[in-house]
Amino acid sequence: MKRTVFLIISLLAAMTARSQTITLEQCQILARDHYPAIAQTELIDRLAEYSISNARRNWLPQISVSGQATYQSEAIDLPESWRKFIDDLPDGVTDMLEKNGLTFEGLPKDQYKAAIQIEQVIWDGGMIKAQTEAAKAEGEASRRSLETELYAIAERVNQLYFGSLLLQENLRTADLLIEDLERNRRMLAATVELGAAGRNDLDLLDVEILGARQKRAEAASAHKAYLKVLGLMTGLQLGEDVVLVKPEPESVPHTDDGRARPEMAALDAQSNLLEAQRRAVRSSVMPQIGAFFQGAYANPGLNFLEDMVHNRWSPYFIAGVKFQWNIGGFYTKKNRLAQIDLNQRRIDSQKETFLYNISLQSAQERAAIEKMEEIMRYDDEIIELRSSIRRRTEASVENGEGNVNDLLRDINAEDRARQNKAAHEIEWLKNIYDLKYTVNHQE
């Protein structure tokens, strides 16, 4: 975020200068930070933190509070023989016992209980650790997947930037063409006044000038459209006077391997997630040991005979260690591990396919770079020869010996040579940056 703020301030300062300039690297950074999905980065980090925290909290004591009120059709009562013995006691004895709180009615059919229970995991077979690692791996997989989406922005920026750069060069060569035509028109106008050339020749130059201006207007309109889209991606207001800086790559990547691509990191993250899931499956069939404590206030309590005699509520507690082993997990363990293995094989196949396609694509781009380098060797020489031819034709026309059609042909030929050089250079640069993108080469 600090880098983005600093970059924006630098750009604003540059754009308040005499000429607005922007580089490809600046466009890449701004387009990435301006992309709406970038906001998901913080959300993914926070979700991962919550998931990891929730998994680790399984080590904390688990506390539950419960209460119940029941009515039973039958309840514990005195045996019939005891009941007969009590009934045969003298009335004075039974009255004395009842006065001392002793009743012989049995447990009531309406019973009540309020309890609090605390359970603490002692050993869970590695399940909580596996859940924590799975939460980390899932968060990393989400981040890598987002990084893959963000990386794709670079290719779109490259297409727009080099398209705009080519149109910028076309405008520059168009201005040179118009300047040459207007200079020759002035020269020809002087010869017309002297009677050395006809008005028809001057009209031919005027038509050519209008056509050149028309082509320039067309290029300017396309350039404006490209800049508008580039501005939408970067969040900048790019005017028609903005100057796109021509990149100067330090070197051509020497590798055709795509292992540095974020897609590979995303696939590795998915493999790590599968490994965490594999550990979770193995942990799910392990026994668990824990401690527990239960405190309650009930009628009847644990000493229900005493409570039955006195018809009272009583507190009690139970504490101990418990052992639990759910062997049902063994029924599906083999299938679950087999599914994970199949998913891992699928990811391995995706990696091989991706690297194969990257190798083919980078080889094609490297061949295109070499082709353009070979073509560019002749551009300057061709332009120099075309300029010499044009200058000689200009001199012959100025002396009244040359033909205007020949002059226009030579001027246009020189213009095409300039355009070809600009197109070759932009194409060469674009191929280099395409290769950099393909292999994720960092200078």
pLDDT category of residue 42 using cuts at 50, 70 and 90? confident
Number of residues in the chain = 443
pLDDT at site 205 = 87
The token pair that represents 156 in the structure block: 């779109």
Is the residue at 43 inside a domain?
Answer: no
Q: Which residue carries 């028609």 as its tokens?
A: 240
Closest CA to 148 of 366, 442, 437: 437
Which residues, including other chains, have CB under 8 Å from residue 333's CB and lie 6 or more apart? 281, 282, 284, 285
If you average pLDDT over residues 240-258, what whole number do you get? 85
Q: Taking residues 150-156, report their average pLDDT.
A: 92
CA distance 334 to 325: 18
Angle at 62 between CA 58 and CA 63, to 5 degrees: 160
Q: Is the pLDDT of residue 302 over 80?
A: no
Residues 403-437: tens digit of each pLDDT: 888 888 999 999 999 999 999 999 999 999 999 99
Provide the angle, in degrees to the nearest 10, between the axes of the packed helices 127-193 and 40-56. Answer: 170
133 falls within a domain: yes
The residue segments making up the domain with residue 219 are 2-34+126-287+328-439
Residues 234, 217 contacting (CB under 8 angstroms): no
How confident is the model over 65-79, as pLDDT tens digits?
Answer: 988 888 887 777 666
Give residues with Cβ within 8 angstroms of 157, minimum separation 6. Answer: 24, 27, 28, 31, 230, 233, 234
Rounded Cα distance, 196 and 189, in Å: 10
The listed range with the strongest mean pLDDT (33-47, 56-70, 148-162, 311-325) is 148-162
**Which distant-in-sequence residues (6+ apart) come within 8 Å of 130 by Cβ?**
276, 279, 280, 282, 283
CB 279 within 8 A of CB 133: yes
Rounded to whole angstroms, the Cα distance separating 244 from 120 reads: 65
Within a domain: 109: no
* Coil vs helix vs strand at 194: coil
Using the predicted structure, report yes or no on whether residue 245 has a pLDDT greater than 90: yes
Average pLDDT over residues 142-160: 93
For residue 420, being part of any structural domain is answered with yes
Considering the domain boundaries, does residue 229 fall inside one?
A: yes
Percent of the chain with pLDDT over 70: 86
Is the model's pLDDT at 150 over the cut of 50? Answer: yes
> pTM of the entire structure?
0.79
Residue 110 in this model has a pLDDT that exceeds 90: no
| Domain annotation covers residue 44 | no
Cβ 313 vs Cβ 297: under 8 Å: yes
**How many domains are there within the chain?**
1
- The Cα–Cα gap between 402 and 244 comes to 41
Which residues make Cβ contacts (< 8 Å) with residue 286, sequence separation at least 6?
Answer: 124, 125, 126, 127, 325
The whole-number pLDDT of residue 92 equals 61
Cα distance between residue 160 and residue 242, in whole Å? 14
Chain centroid to Cα 404, Å, comes to 60
In the three-class reduction of DSSP (H, G, I as helix; E, B as strand; rest coil), residue 380 is classed as helix
Q: Identify each DSSP E strand in 167-255 by its residue range.
A: 243-244
- Report the CATH number at residue 130: 1.20.1600.10
Q: Which residues contact 43 (CB under 8 A, 6 or more apart)?
A: none
- Position 72 in a domain: no
Joined tokens for residue 377: 């060797």
Asked, for residue 389, whether it belongs to a domain, the answer is yes
Cα separation, 167 vs 422, in Å, equals: 10
pLDDT of residue 326: 84
Q: For residue range 120-131, what is the model confidence (pLDDT) as tens digits? A: 888 888 888 888
Q: Does residue 6 register a pLDDT over 50?
A: no
Higher confidence at residue 218 or residue 110?
218
> Mean pLDDT: which of 73-77, 190-194, 248-252, 387-391 is highest?
387-391
Confidence of residue 93 (pLDDT cuts 50, 70, 90): low
User: How high is the pLDDT of residue 432?
Assistant: 93
Is residue 7 a contact partner of residue 32, using CB atoms and an 8 Å limit?
no
CA-CA distance, 83 to 302, in Å (whole number)?
23
pLDDT in tens, 96-108: 656 555 555 667 7
pLDDT for 338 beyond 90: yes
What pLDDT is recorded for position 9?
46
Average pLDDT, the chain: 85
What pLDDT is attached to residue 325?
87
When mean pLDDT is compared over 3-7, 73-77, 98-102, 145-149, the highest value belongs to 145-149
CB distance 274 to 340 below 8 Å: yes
333, with CB counted inside 10 A (0-12, 13-18, 19+), is middle
As a whole number of angstroms, the distance between CA 74 and CA 253 comes to 87
Q: Establish whether the linkage from the previous residue to 90 is cis, with ω within 30° of 0.
A: no
Lowest mean pLDDT among 101-105, 211-215, 369-373, 422-426: 101-105
Question: How far is residue 188's CA from residue 403's CA, in Å, rounded to a whole number?
Answer: 11
